[in-house]
Chain A
Amino acid sequence: MTHTMQRLTRRGLALAMLVSTLAAAPIHLAAADAADAAAKQRDLIKVLQSDAPKAQKAITCKELAIYGTPDAVPALAPLLEDPELASWARIALEAIPDPAADDALHAALGKVQGRLLVGVINSIGVRRDANAVGALTERLKDGDADVASAAAEALGHIGGDAATTALRQSLADAPAGVRGSVAQGCIFCAEQELAAGRNAEAAQLYDAVRQADVPKERLLEAIRGAILARQSAGIPLLLEQLRSPDKARFGIGLRVARELPGVDVTKALAAELEQAPTARQPLVLLALADRNDAAVMPVLHKAIESGAKPLRLAALDVLQRAGTVECIPVLLQAAADADADVAQSGKLALLKLEGPDANAALLARLPQATGKARLALIQLAGERHITEALPAIVAAAGDADAGVRAAAVTSLGAIGEAPQAAALVSLLEKAATSPERDGLEKALLALSARCGAACAPDLLPLAKSSDVALRLIALQALAAAGGPDALAAVAAAVNDTDDSVADEAVRTLSTWPGNWPEDAGVADPLLALAKSGKKASYQVLGLRGYLQFVQGDRQLKDDERVARVKDLLPFIKRPEEKRVAIATLSGIPSTGVLDVLVALASDPAVTEDACSAIVNLTAGELRNTAKEQCRTALQTVLEKTRNDATKQRAAGALKKLD
């Protein structure tokens, strides 16, 4: 038996073992546990035998599923006749691993009808009680189609010669409404044969179902089973499905094409691909590829080289997840294809190539590559971060071809190092068109963000350009790079003669990357802006940026934070910024904060914000370390606030202080 078949059947066996062992698993309870369980069971049985409400009996059944022994069966069995408790009783009876439970279910076959009988039969099937085959065989002819159907499926679960014989007989003469379940039962039996390695017997059963007048779903299952049971000998039947005009049969063929193991199967499918209708070729190819057989690779290459467009795209889709270094030539050819979809798909497959040698193999092709293939390799160098390609990319950035230049610039953004910042700046200064400048700007920003302060000196000439647009780009690149040189240049640009540059410099400072404490140097220029920015908007942005610094820089001690905010307060004019200041203060559990907040509470524009902050702060650690200051602050809240909820909270906090 092949590995795949073993895997498939092992899982079937696991399920079969699971259900069978419910009835046969040995008891391995420690003595103390066993005594506890016995005592618990006695109590549970008493409940079932009492006048307890059904709700209690129901839950008791569920507990007996864990603790029940044969002793519990006599108490459970009568419940099988109770429509409200039968399902609960079966939970316990299905779980108790003793023939007594089988006997109870067997006995119930003669006592209940309709749905309750169906339930009992279902449980017998779950327990795979071979002693019930005779009784279930009789039920195959029951006038109630639901009962007969349940019996058929239960027989299928039980399996074995007697059940199989009964089901095969019934396949011929069962009423139409029951035949589907009889077929299902036959298929269950066939699965057991297959799991046991009796492939010929399984194939016979599947064939019996195929030849019977059964619902289409069962027919498809039987076809699948018949192919798998025959293994390689099932290839003709598999190909028959793949050639069928019927969509469902074609569909089951595609599934089995993935399941049936063997190199000869792969070969047969590859041959089938050649003659399949164009519309079906991609689906057959995808199934073939899912077989994870190395023999498929030449088929994929051929499909890419000479297939119809959907087939080419399907093959490229496969190589996006399964491509290897050996695929590079065919993928490069696809990446250079005139068809945009094929080219895009080829590039993506190259981009996703895995393996330690992939980058080296791609790089090796760059010197000889021309046209679209060269373009693709330059793009890939950046996207795959092939740093060894940097010299070639730098050279290509000065290429005569605009497309090559653009691709090289993008790749420089991705893999360039600090020295390449100067090259990009130089190219920016010479860029003649807007798209070219846009590409260079993106690359410069990406490189600056990656290389950081090391590239800042190379950006400074751009900040001094006579071209306003270049100075604006410089500000963004400097912010991305960071560091003292960059910060100084941006701070200087606040006084730029051009308003748009000065505005951008202020915005850049106020949102300076908050990588504290490395960026703490931004505090001084922000404070200067807050105090004496030449426009009101500069002052506002300065204030907000500075308060962010106060909040963010963890090197500042709490008292220092409070002092900085306190110093700033005289320069804050608008309530909006006062609220930001209060929010900043409310996160500082320091005694000094309370005095500042009390002062702010006198400002009618922010009284409520200040009061709320006081109440929040005094609920924390401060109430232990600064009791008196808390009391004073809370009394201020009671005086000032007009918010009932705040007042109530303040009163409560005061009480706790007392």
Chain B
Amino acid sequence: MNPATTPSSEPLSQPQSRPHPAASPLNRRRFLKAAAQVGALLAMPQIVSAKVLGMDGGVAASERIVLGGIGIGNRGSYDLGCFLQEPDVQFVAVCDVKEARRQAVKKRADDKYGNHDCATYRDLRELLARDDIDAVLIATGPNWHFAAATLAANAGKDMYCEKPCTKNIAQSLALAATMRRTGRVFQAGTQRRSLPNFAFAVHLAQTGRLGPLRTLYAQPAGLKAIMSGWLPPEPEPPKEEVDWDLYLGPAAWRPFNKRELDGFNFEKGGGFMGAFGGGGCLEWGSHCVDLCQWANQTDNTAPIEYEPTGNQLHARYANGVKLVLRDDHWLPLGSCPVRFEGDTGWVETADNGDIAASSNDLLVGRGPKIGGYPADFHIRNFLDCVKTRAQPRANADVACWSHITCHAANIALFLNRKVTFDPKTCMFIGDEQANRLRSEALREPWRA
């Protein structure tokens, strides 16, 4: 097999193309410093010129974006660091149901600004009621993402919301509808949309450089359940320490158990029982499937068929392109890989920033390597859009359909059979069981 010319989906132990001469990984700041030459900017996601937005030579306090944080744990702390490095952001408040986290974030913000001004809240509604806050970072566990985003939009806040953003198809549609209705700027935390290696691979797919597209591959990181259940009760801590009722939020009630306190996994993907958690499919699917949607220029729709096949899931778009979710047979390019295959070529990339392709010619103009999937480009895009009111790269409509695709795949996996989906009506065709899984009641008093 000649790797320079032949598309392949066979397992491989080594990249088929010689590694591109590697630049050292860059984050946005180092990149901008290094990118004095015009050419280096070619393959980069576009950033609105600071001078357009009145940031030339500093930012007046009145022009800063006043930010609050909701649910700032591990991932949130990373995101917050990206926000804090932006000169036009003033972080003023943190909300978390856990006291230790509230205090840790307050200390970080106060240390940065040299004051004691960062306010702490246990209940997100109190933070959202503040008139002075323009935008919020939502980095709770996935159980809360949709409900918090809805509350934030209804309170007139823009938001950067970690993924997965929704727990089911109905929530995905409601999220997009709410952002449209309220006119809020919503950016899903799918930061790979703003990274040059993924953007370059997508560009190859969209511009016909691979020939007519045939198959898209995405890694979901586990086509299996992540359980959320009803564990044996344990003594509930004081509300000031951990507010269990607020932690549960829209999830159905269950007694306190500290093993449930890992917000990362709690109720991910719907938290269904038995074999259906959807966490795996949503965990990386919300990134990798999202990139496939982008490559296929199907940001406003979803595949029409989904079928579990062995340890993979095969889906098919109305335009005939196939989407394969698989956890193996990837080149060693890092986490969250995607691969796009057309009639005349293929490209594969992942989190180490390298790009492998069927031909080195395809790699001309690929731009600098940025490994380690930093979020700062994506967060800058969000902040720019807060000012311009434009739609960010991973806006609510984009997130809506990439999440619907993941949820529909989960439903096929749960039912362990093929399902057929109509993206116009967002219904499964002639399939009541699947249709019932499109939504789930929120616990009182929460609602969409």
Point out residues on A near B: beta carbons under 8 Å. Answer: 8, 10-12, 14-15, 17-19, 21-22, 25-29, 54-55, 58-59, 62-63, 65-66, 83-88, 90-91, 93-95, 97, 115-116, 118-120, 122-123, 125-126, 146, 150, 153, 184, 187, 191, 216-217, 220-221, 224-225, 248, 251-252, 254-256, 258, 279, 282-283, 286-287, 290, 309-310, 313-314, 316-317, 320-321, 341, 344-345, 347-348, 351-352, 379, 382-383, 385, 449, 515
Cβ < 8 Å to A, chain B residues 141-198: 154-156, 169-170, 173-174, 176-177, 180-183
Partner-binding segment picked from B96-104, B108-116, B209-217, B424-432:
B424-432
When C-beta atoms are compared, the residue in chain B nearest to A383 turns out to be: B39
Could you jot down 5 A-B contacts, CB within 8 Å? A66-B433, A122-B447, A254-B388, A283-B389, A290-B390
The answer to whether A18 touches B438 (Cβ under 8 A) is: yes
Contact of A216 among B49, B156, B440, B446 (CB under 8 A): B156
Bound-state CA distance A536–B431 (Å) is 76
Partner-binding segment picked from B40-48, B71-79, B314-322:
B40-48
The answer to whether B439 touches A95 (Cβ under 8 A) is: yes
Bound-state CA distance A240–B48 (Å) is 26
CB-CB < 8 A to A17: which residues of B?
A: 425-427
Min Cβ gap B229→A in Å is: 7
The answer to whether A22 touches B436 (Cβ under 8 A) is: yes
The answer to whether B46 touches A321 (Cβ under 8 A) is: yes
- Of the listed residues A248, A279, A282, A316, the one surrounded by the most CB atoms of chain B closer than 10 A to its CB is A282
The answer to whether B42 touches A14 (Cβ under 8 A) is: no
In the assembled complex, B3 has its CB within 8 A of some CB on chain A = no
| Given contacts A122-B442, A383-B38, A15 and B177 within 8 Å (CB-CB) | yes
The answer to whether B170 touches A258 (Cβ under 8 A) is: no
Contact of B183 among A8, A29, A221, A287 (CB under 8 A): A221
CB-CB < 8 A to B431: which residues of A?
A: 28
Cβ < 8 Å to A, chain B residues 9-61: 18, 21, 38-39, 41-42, 46, 48-49, 51-54
The answer to whether A115 touches B444 (Cβ under 8 A) is: yes
CB-CB < 8 A to A379: which residues of B?
A: 38
CB-CB < 8 A to B446: which residues of A?
A: 122
The answer to whether B230 touches A54 (Cβ under 8 A) is: yes
A91-B440, A254-B388, A385-B364 given; 10 more Cβ-contact pairs under 8 Å: A8-B180, A86-B444, A120-B444, A126-B439, A217-B155, A221-B183, A225-B181, A286-B388, A309-B51, A310-B52
The answer to whether B439 touches A220 (Cβ under 8 A) is: no
CB-CB < 8 A to A248: which residues of B?
A: 156
CB-CB < 8 A to B440: which residues of A?
A: 65, 91, 94-95
Bound-state CA distance A67–B159 (Å) is 37
When C-beta atoms are compared, the residue in chain A nearest to B182 turns out to be: A221
| Given contacts A59-B230, A59-B273, A217 and B365 within 8 Å (CB-CB) | no
The answer to whether A18 touches B426 (Cβ under 8 A) is: yes
Bound-state CA distance A591–B182 (Å) is 72
Bound-state CA distance A91–B439 (Å) is 9
Bound-state CA distance A348–B272 (Å) is 50
Min Cβ gap B75→A in Å is: 27
| Given contacts A25-B435, A91-B440, A345 and B49 within 8 Å (CB-CB) | yes
The answer to whether A91 touches B441 (Cβ under 8 A) is: yes
The answer to whether A26 touches B155 (Cβ under 8 A) is: no
Interface string of B276-299 (1 = CB under 8 A from A): 000000000000000000000000
Min Cβ gap B432→A in Å is: 5
Contact of B173 among A15, A97, A347 (CB under 8 A): A15
Bound-state CA distance A255–B183 (Å) is 6
When C-beta atoms are compared, the residue in chain B nearest to A7 turns out to be: B300
How many residue pairs link A and B with beta carbons under 8 A? The number is: 203
When C-beta atoms are compared, the residue in chain B nearest to A37 turns out to be: B433
CB-CB < 8 A to A216: which residues of B?
A: 156
The answer to whether B272 touches A351 (Cβ under 8 A) is: no
Interface string of B243-266 (1 = CB under 8 A from A): 000000000111100000000000
In the assembled complex, B130 has its CB within 8 A of some CB on chain A = no
When C-beta atoms are compared, the residue in chain A nearest to B271 turns out to be: A62
The answer to whether B439 touches A18 (Cβ under 8 A) is: yes
Bound-state CA distance A309–B56 (Å) is 11
In the assembled complex, B66 has its CB within 8 A of some CB on chain A = no
Bound-state CA distance A95–B230 (Å) is 21
| Given contacts A11-B173, A17-B425, A251-B389, A317 and B181 within 8 Å (CB-CB) | no
Bound-state CA distance A220–B154 (Å) is 11
- Of the listed residues B21, B51, B174, the one surrounded by the most CB atoms of chain A closer than 10 A to its CB is B51
The answer to whether B439 touches A254 (Cβ under 8 A) is: no
The answer to whether A283 touches B387 (Cβ under 8 A) is: yes
Contact of B432 among A26, A290, A320 (CB under 8 A): A26
In the assembled complex, B445 has its CB within 8 A of some CB on chain A = yes
The answer to whether A14 touches B52 (Cβ under 8 A) is: no
- Of the listed residues A8, A11, A84, A382, the one surrounded by the most CB atoms of chain B closer than 10 A to its CB is A11
Min Cβ gap A96→B in Å is: 8
CB-CB < 8 A to A126: which residues of B?
A: 439, 441
CB-CB < 8 A to A344: which residues of B?
A: 38
CB-CB < 8 A to A286: which residues of B?
A: 48, 52, 388, 390
The answer to whether A22 touches B439 (Cβ under 8 A) is: yes
The answer to whether B51 touches A310 (Cβ under 8 A) is: yes
In the assembled complex, B437 has its CB within 8 A of some CB on chain A = yes
Contact of A317 among B46, B254, B432 (CB under 8 A): B46
In the assembled complex, B329 has its CB within 8 A of some CB on chain A = no
Bound-state CA distance A191–B180 (Å) is 11
CB-CB < 8 A to A279: which residues of B?
A: 54
The answer to whether B364 touches A119 (Cβ under 8 A) is: no
The answer to whether B427 touches A221 (Cβ under 8 A) is: no
Min Cβ gap B13→A in Å is: 12
The answer to whether B52 touches A317 (Cβ under 8 A) is: yes
Cβ < 8 Å to A, chain B residues 372-388: 387-388
Min Cβ gap A354→B in Å is: 8
CB-CB < 8 A to A86: which residues of B?
A: 253, 444
The answer to whether A14 touches B444 (Cβ under 8 A) is: no
The answer to whether A118 touches B445 (Cβ under 8 A) is: yes
Bound-state CA distance A255–B51 (Å) is 21
| Given contacts A25-B432, A252-B183, A348 and B38 within 8 Å (CB-CB) | yes
The answer to whether B51 touches A341 (Cβ under 8 A) is: yes
Bound-state CA distance A282–B384 (Å) is 12
CB-CB < 8 A to B239: which residues of A?
A: none
CB-CB < 8 A to B173: which residues of A?
A: 11, 14-15, 18
Bound-state CA distance A94–B444 (Å) is 13
CB-CB < 8 A to A19: which residues of B?
A: 170, 439
The answer to whether A62 touches B272 (Cβ under 8 A) is: yes
| Given contacts A310-B52, A348-B41, A29 and B433 within 8 Å (CB-CB) | yes
The answer to whether A18 touches B427 (Cβ under 8 A) is: yes
The answer to whether A383 touches B42 (Cβ under 8 A) is: yes
Bound-state CA distance A62–B433 (Å) is 13
CB-CB < 8 A to B49: which residues of A?
A: 313-314, 316-317, 341, 345
Contact of A58 among B18, B54, B252 (CB under 8 A): B252
The answer to whether A125 touches B447 (Cβ under 8 A) is: yes
CB-CB < 8 A to A187: which residues of B?
A: 181
The answer to whether A87 touches B439 (Cβ under 8 A) is: no
The answer to whether A27 touches B438 (Cβ under 8 A) is: no
CB-CB < 8 A to B437: which residues of A?
A: 65-66
Bound-state CA distance A347–B365 (Å) is 16
- Of the listed residues A17, A87, A93, A255, the one surrounded by the most CB atoms of chain B closer than 10 A to its CB is A87
Bound-state CA distance A22–B427 (Å) is 10
The answer to whether A94 touches B439 (Cβ under 8 A) is: yes
Bound-state CA distance A120–B364 (Å) is 60
The answer to whether A347 touches B38 (Cβ under 8 A) is: yes
Instruction: Name the 4 nearest CB pairs between A and B, nearest first.
Output: A119-B444, A254-B389, A87-B443, A55-B230
Cβ < 8 Å to A, chain B residues 382-424: 387-391, 424
The answer to whether A87 touches B181 (Cβ under 8 A) is: no
When C-beta atoms are compared, the residue in chain A nearest to B439 turns out to be: A22
Min Cβ gap A299→B in Å is: 16
| Given contacts A94-B439, A347-B38, A255 and B389 within 8 Å (CB-CB) | yes
When C-beta atoms are compared, the residue in chain A nearest to B430 turns out to be: A28
Min Cβ gap A31→B in Å is: 14
